[in-house]
Amino acid sequence: QVQLVESGGGLVQAGDSLRLSCAVSGRRISSSALAWFRQAPGNERECVAASGWATYYAASVKGRFTISRDNAKNTVYLQMNSLKSEDTAVYYCAIRATAAMLTTATGYDYWGQGTQVTVSS
């Protein structure tokens, strides 16, 4: 059974940094595409970063967020710098069965429970 557990969310001020972690069990991340999505109230779930054969960043986070993975720990990270109030959302990590990266939520097979990030201005 594949499980993803996110951690690292919280309440920060604009300009601060946070690092989200997503520990994966039941599947080796070294052969998988991984992504971070976020969803704010009233908004659709959007992909902010994805990693597979290529790497993707949403325009709104490019240059501020970095997705990385530690294959030995089977964990994926999202480093978020220069946070803005509009980054406030629940953040989810997701994994799919192949290394082909996608940016659509329907392309991912397993999801974490989400972690809240709140940025005060």
pLDDT by residue (tens digit) across 31-85? 999 999 999 999 999 999 999 999 999 999 999 999 999 999 999 999 999 999 9
The answer to whether the beta carbons of residues 110 and 95 sit under 8 Å apart is yes
The answer to whether the beta carbons of residues 56 and 50 sit under 8 Å apart is yes
Q: Alpha carbon of 65 to those of 18, 38, 46, 62, 101: distances in Å?
A: 10, 13, 14, 6, 17
pLDDT at 16: 98
Please report the DSSP string for 57-110 in residue order: E-TTTTTTEEEEEETTTTEEEEEE-S--GGG-EEEEEEE-SSS----SGGG-SE
Give the pair of three-digit tokens for residue 97.
Answer: 């069965």
pLDDT at 85: 97
pLDDT at 62: 98
Q: Alpha carbon of 60 to those of 9, 25, 100: distances in Å?
A: 19, 30, 23
